[in-house]
Amino acid sequence: MAAIQRFPRSQSVALFSGVSRKGYELSNIIKPDDAERFHCNICKFLARDPLELKHCGSILCTDCFNDFCNKVSSFSNGKLKCPVNDGELFHYLDCVRLMDSSKCAYGLYAEIDLKCANACGAVLSAGSMSEHENWECPKRVVECAHLGCHVHLPNSEMGPHIESCEHRLIFCSLCGLPRKFLGRHTCVTEMRKTMERMQ
């Protein structure tokens, strides 16, 4: 059995760690008939960050393909069993981003109008929806930036939490050292003053 071969970043799709996201819900597509050819052959939704398997023309979400590859225990000579066509072998380099394999097809995909899955009211093209969901949507769920805090809230509600988070660091006015907001702090400067008074 051959060792697991990882995808070279420069040549193919990188395997991402983190939360896997399936395709866009079909109910969020404004004109569903325009999107049928771009349904992911694994999750059956509109492909998110679409890839094309060149050997068969199937469309897949990037995360669906990465999940599939992460489940494969081994493959040799860069060949995988196709997740769509009854296990037909294909080389992993034959899976390319749709925008790189067919500019015309990607142009059609990018023009499909979708409602934001976070229900913020935005209607955007499939080509710009990923950026909206990741960076712009006021209702996207984000994690608190303070170390040790694992609170997840809509971005529009995160500001007040960050200001009062029990894990935020504040700086001591006497010694300047950072300490946790509600943590106990024995200030070095205060200890010196106490020691000087005792002598």
For 130-164, what is each residue's pLDDT tens digit? 899 888 999 999 999 888 899 999 998 999 999 88
What distance in Å separates the CA atoms of residue 109 and residue 29, rounded to the nearest whole number?
12
Decide if 9 is inside a domain. Answer: no
Decide if 16 is inside a domain. Answer: no
Give whole-number Cα distances, 86 to 83, 89, 90, in Å.
7, 9, 12
Strands (E), 106-198: 113-115, 123-125, 141-143, 152-154, 169-171, 178-180
Instruction: Quote the domain boundaries for residue 109.
Output: 26-125
Decide if 61 is inside a domain. Answer: yes
Decide if 172 is inside a domain. Answer: yes
Query: Which of 119, 155, 121, 129 is closest to 38 using CA atoms?
Result: 129
Residue 121 scores a pLDDT above 90:
yes
pLDDT at position 190? 65
Contact 155, 137 (CB under 8 A): yes
The mean pLDDT value for 75-95 works out to 78
pLDDT at position 80? 82
pLDDT at position 19? 47
The mean pLDDT value for 59-65 works out to 92
The mean pLDDT value for 111-119 works out to 92
Query: Which of 146, 153, 145 is closest to 167 using CA atoms?
Result: 146
pLDDT at position 66? 87
Amino acid identity of 134?
Answer: N
- The CATH code of the domain that includes 100 is 3.30.40.10
pLDDT at position 12? 31
Tokens matching residue 138: 């006021």
User: Which DSSP string corresponds to 110-130?
Assistant: HT-EEE-TT-SS-EEEHHHHH
Last residue of a domain, one of 99, 125, 151: 125
User: What is the tally of structural domains in the chain?
Assistant: 2
DSSP designation for 143:
E
Query: Is the pTM higher than 0.75?
Result: no
User: Which DSSP string corresponds to 11-49?
Assistant: TSPPPPPS-----B-GGGBSSGGGGGGGB-TTT-SBPSS
Residue 20 scores a pLDDT above 70:
no
On average, the pLDDT of the chain sits at 80
